[in-house]
Amino acid sequence: MSIIKRIAKHRHVQRLRGISLSAVPKQFAEFPGPIPDRYEHSVSVSRLSNMLNESFSRWKTAIAVSGLLHDIGSPPFNHIAEEYMEAKFGYDHEKLSKVLIMQSSISGMLRECGIYNQVMQIFDKGQSISKIMFGKIDLDNIDNLHKFDTIVLKNEPIYSRHELAQRFELIKDDVYFRMDAEKWKRTRWRVYNYLANSHWNMAAWAMLKRAHDLSYEHLDENYFRMTDEQAIDFLSKHAPKIMGSLKKHEYYEEQFRIVVDEPPKLSKINERVRAVNEIAELEGFDKEDICVLISDDRRSKDVKRWFLCVFSSRHIKNEEGMQNALCI
């Protein structure tokens, strides 16, 4: 059995069948099309390595394996939960992926094939070769954006994944992308513009963030290795009103939104929780009635902006008090 097939059967990789490509999972989503899971995405990224030109010949197996493994550290709800994983344990999903490789039987498989050191270099962002998987434009986001755009949003494709993969070149162990990135940028804008302007998506993000806020003291390392479905059951014990609304697709109404050029003052979890609790108290709301979403605007990697949005199950009357609590 090939190294790719052996690793694909590993429990860390198989868990990705239960993690949606979208941060808002399929259980709560209202996209035009179906949502692939992160296992499908990882297999596609692995296969894209076959499109790389001959300059990558001695790296191709390691890149294919890294494609399978690059998301094994993804928590349930992906980027929604990642903030809490970093706050509690000091690592993001990419660092956790590397740790899981080193601490599991995957390490032995890679050593048997003589590619352990190469895979570790790909997962080390200090190494130039890592840009093939963790760069500004890489095999990961070429596949991710294409899948989201064409399968989830049902758009006609702007670019060919295979064509873009063929445009990478390895020169003296440094990765270069030999093509105008305009088509990739247009796709990125179209995907993230849809997400930013979709009421249900932004509301679901905010509600899931608040469910994590209210569950924070109970989030242990095991939580971040659950599937989406397991995490939904877990959060439902600590934020039953929010999770119950999400299960019925009853999204909170947007009360307020601004876009700013600098990270909002409430970017840290404890600051956001304090502000939301203060607004709830001012309005006489339950703590589950109000949610605040602070997120970077991901439509462009070249322009840094942030959203600050407030969602609530009830109308907020004291707008001045809300803005004071949000330090606006």
Inter-residue contact 150 to 157 (CB < 8 Å): yes
188 and 76 in a single domain? The answer is yes
58 and 191 in a single domain? The answer is yes
27 and 118 in a single domain? The answer is yes
155 and 181 in a single domain? The answer is yes
Query: End of a domain among 176, 195, 214?
Result: 195
43 and 130 in a single domain? The answer is yes
What's the CATH code of the domain at 145?
1.10.3210.10
Could you list the residue range(s) of the whole structural domain that residue 25 is in?
3-195
191 and 51 in a single domain? The answer is yes
Query: End of a domain among 135, 166, 195?
Result: 195
13 and 146 in a single domain? The answer is yes
8 and 36 in a single domain? The answer is yes
Token pair of 216 as six digits: 């924070």
| Beta strands in the chain, from DSSP E residues, in sequence order | 168-171, 174-177, 253-260, 290-296, 306-312
| CA–CA dist 91, 93 (Å, integer) | 7
Domain count, the chain: 2
pTM for the full model?
Answer: 0.94
Query: End of a domain among 195, 228, 260?
Result: 195
> pLDDT tens string for the chain (328 positions)?
699 999 999 999 999 999 999 999 999 999 999 999 999 999 999 999 999 999 999 999 999 999 999 999 999 999 999 999 999 999 999 999 999 999 999 999 999 999 999 999 999 998 999 999 999 999 999 999 999 999 999 999 999 999 999 999 999 889 999 988 999 999 999 999 999 999 999 999 999 999 999 999 999 999 999 999 999 999 999 999 999 999 999 999 999 998 888 877 777 898 889 989 999 999 999 999 999 998 888 887 777 888 899 999 999 888 888 888 887 7
158 and 51 in a single domain? The answer is yes
